[in-house]
Amino acid sequence: MSARRHLVFLAAAALLTMPGCKRQRAPKVAEVWDVSPSVQRTEALGSLAPPWPAPTRAVLDSGLATFWLHEADAPVFHARLLIPTVEAKGEGPTLAAATIIAHHARTALTRRLAALGAVVDVAHAPDRIEIAIHGNNADSALLLDGIATVLQPRVPATALERARDQVSDQVRDALTEQVAVAELVAELLGRPVDSQRLTPAALRGVSPDVLSDTWRLLADPRRAVLIVHAGSSAESMRAALRRLSDRWHGLGRRTLAPSAVARLRGPAAPDRKGARLLAAPATPFSVSTAKGTGSPVLVVGRVIPTPTPAARSLARLSQRIIGEEVDARVAIAGDQAILLVRVSLSSKDPDGSASAAIDTLSELASTRQPQQRLFAAAQLWLGARVVQASLDGEDWTALWSESMDLATTDDEIATALAVDAQAMLSADADALLQWQGEWLNPRAGQGGWAWTVAGVDDGILRRLARIAPVGSPSSPAT
C-alpha cells in the first residue's frame, strides 16, 4: 500500500471516503407499498454487529485506555491504536506535523515487525489517527513490544526529520474538491484554515522543535486508546501489557480523561444559527485560493446534532437516499455529524449549477419517502458495513472504533452498533420527513449552512455573485 494514500488532508480525506453514492434519479414508488418490514427481517438485520463478548477494559499504569476483545482460538491478532489529534479545547498540531508523525510511526512499525509478517496500516478519521497492526496471534506479545519500542517517550528527532523530507517529496497538489472540503470543514468546526491544509511547502516548513513537540503530544498513552482483537485473553497477556505500560509512557504531567470516548471527542462545533443558503440574507460563498488540480467545485455543508441513535439513523438514511441524486457524505462523531454535498460547477453557468444544487436539496428535504424505501436504504447500508468488515479480515477493532463514534460513554460502545442498526430499521417515514425539513433544507430549515468554492476564476466569481455575496478569498497555504 503506497504511503501517499495516507498523506492528503486528514479531515478532507476522512469525509471524502465516507460511504456514499450517486445514481440516476430513482423511480417514484407508489405509496401503496408504504408498509413496514416483517419483524423477523428487522430482528435479523438489527443484529448485524459482531458477536463480541464483553471486553476486558482497563487503564494501564501508563494511562493507556485499553479494550481487549477475546475471540477464543482465533489465529489472528489485530491491534488498533487511536490517537486524537485535537485537544478538548480545539487545540492541536497542524495537519502537516500530524501527518509526519503518522508516516514515521507506520514506517518504523513496519520495519520493526517485518520479521513477524505483520501488516501495519494508518487510517485517518476526523480528529484522530488510527494505527492498525495485523499479525499472528502467536506473536501477540512481540507485536505489543513493537508498539512500546516505536512509541517510547524519547523523541526520534533524526527519523522525524527524515519522515518530513519523505512526505514532502510524496505529496502533490490536492484536488480542488479536497481543498474545498478541508476549508469548509475548518470553517464549520471553527478551526484555523491553514491547520487543515497539506502542501509540500507546509510540510517542509515544520521545524524540528515543532516535530518534537508534536511527538510528545501524540505519542502519549494518556491520550490514546488501544483496541485489541485476539485469540489470546487479556489475562494471558498480562505480562506483555505490563511491559507495554512500563516502556511506553508520557512525559510531564497530564490529567487523564475520564473515559476512552471522552479522549477521542473533539470540541463541539460553533453555533452558526441564521446561515441559510439563498434565503434572505443569502450566505456568502467562501472562496479558496489554495492551489488544487481539477475542475471548479462547490462544497455545501453543515453540522447536524445527532445526540441519539434515532437522530444518527435519520442522518444515515438521509445520506443514503439523497446520495442517489447528489454526491453527499456524512461523518458522525457522537453527538454531532458533518454533512457535505459536492457540486461540480459549470464554467459557463456556475450560478445555475449552484442554484440547481440548492433546489435539489430543498426538493429532497420536502419529499416524503415510502416506508419500504427507508427499509431498503437501511438494509443496503447495514449490509455494506458487514461485507466490508468481512473483506477486511473480520477485524473487530475497526468496528469497535466505529462503535466508539456512536457512543457517549464507554459502557455504550459494545451495543452502539446494534442499537443504531435497530434505530435505522425502525425509522418512520413521517419522522424522517420532519427531520429532513429541519436539517437538510438549505432554504427553509435550521440555519447553520456554509459553502466553499475552489478552482474558480474571476469570471466564475462574478457569476456566483449574482445569487449570493462572494466572501473574501482565504489566504493560500504557505
* Alpha helices (H) along 47-94: none
Q: Which three cell numbers stand for residue 137?
A: 496471534
Q: Which three cell numbers stand for residue 401?
A: 472504533
Query: Does one domain contain both 257 and 406?
Result: no
Band of pLDDT at residue 88, cut at 50, 70 and 90? low
Give, in order, the Cα–Cα distances in Å from 349 to each of 360, 450, 462, 464: 17, 21, 11, 9
Are 33 and 370 in contact, with CB atoms under 8 Å apart? yes
Residue found by looking up cell 501489557 in the block = 241
Query: Does one domain contain both 102 and 166?
Result: yes
Q: Please tell me the pTM assigned to this model.
A: 0.80
Query: Does one domain contain both 220 and 283?
Result: no
Query: Does one domain contain both 301 and 212?
Result: no
What would the mean pLDDT of 397-407 be, rounded to a whole number? 87
310: domain range? 27-46+268-464
Give residue 415's pLDDT: 84
Max Cα distance, the chain (Å):
68
In a domain, 121, yes or no: yes
CATH number at residue 253: 3.30.830.10
What would the mean pLDDT of 343-363 be, rounded to a whole number? 92
In a domain, 469, yes or no: no
In a domain, 254, yes or no: yes
Domain boundary among 264, 294, 309: 264
What 8-state DSSP symbol labels residue 407? -
Query: Could you give the number of structural domains in the chain?
Result: 2
Q: How far apart are CA 418 and CA 347, in angstroms?
A: 46
Q: Which three cell numbers stand for residue 36?
A: 413496514
In a domain, 179, yes or no: no
User: How, if at all, do strands 336-344 and 128-136 pair?
Assistant: unpaired
* pLDDT value at 48 more than 60: no
In this structure, of 175-179, 205-209, 302-306, 463-467, the range with the lowest mean pLDDT score is 175-179
* pLDDT value at 45 more than 50: no
For the chain, give the number of residues.
478
Strand (E) or helix (H) holding 385: helix 371-391
Query: Does one domain contain both 328 and 422?
Result: yes
Are 253 and 194 in contact, with CB atoms under 8 Å apart? no
Query: Does one domain contain both 97 and 41?
Result: no
In a domain, 155, yes or no: yes
In a domain, 21, yes or no: no
Segment 255-278, tens digit of pLDDT: 888 789 988 887 777 776 667 888
Q: How far apart are CA 358 and CA 464, in angstroms?
A: 13
Reduce the DSSP state of residue 123 to 3 states and report it: strand
Give residue 117's pLDDT: 95
Higher pLDDT, 211 or 279: 211
User: How, if at all, do strands 76-84 and 128-136 pair?
Assistant: antiparallel
Query: Does one domain contain both 272 and 257?
Result: no
Query: Does one domain contain both 147 and 260?
Result: yes
Query: Does one domain contain both 73 and 86?
Result: yes
Give residue 417's pLDDT: 82
- Give the CB-side neighbour count of residue 79, counting CA atoms within 13 A: 28
In a domain, 8, yes or no: no
In a domain, 161, yes or no: yes
Segment 278-311, tens digit of pLDDT: 877 888 998 987 777 889 999 999 999 988 888 8
Give residue 41's pLDDT: 41
> Is residue 51 exposed (0-12), middle (13-18) or buried (19+ Cβ within 10 Å)?
exposed
Segment 162-171, tens digit of pLDDT: 999 999 888 7
Query: Does one domain contain both 237 and 318?
Result: no
Strand (E) or helix (H) holding 80: strand 76-84
Query: Does one domain contain both 304 and 255?
Result: no
Q: How far apart are CA 117 and CA 20, in angstroms?
A: 34
Domain boundary among 239, 264, 289: 264
Query: Does one domain contain both 335 and 316?
Result: yes
Q: How far apart are CA 193 and CA 213, in angstroms?
A: 21
Domain boundary among 264, 283, 302: 264
Give residue 390's pLDDT: 62
Question: Which among 412, 395, 63, 417 is positioned nearest to 228, based on CA atoms?
Answer: 395
Q: How far apart are CA 109 and CA 119, in angstroms?
A: 9
E strand intervals along 224-364:
225-230, 286-287, 297-305, 327-333, 336-344
Give residue 471's pLDDT: 79
The residues, any chain, with a CB within 8 Å of residue 232's CB and separated by 6 or more, are: 70, 77, 137, 140
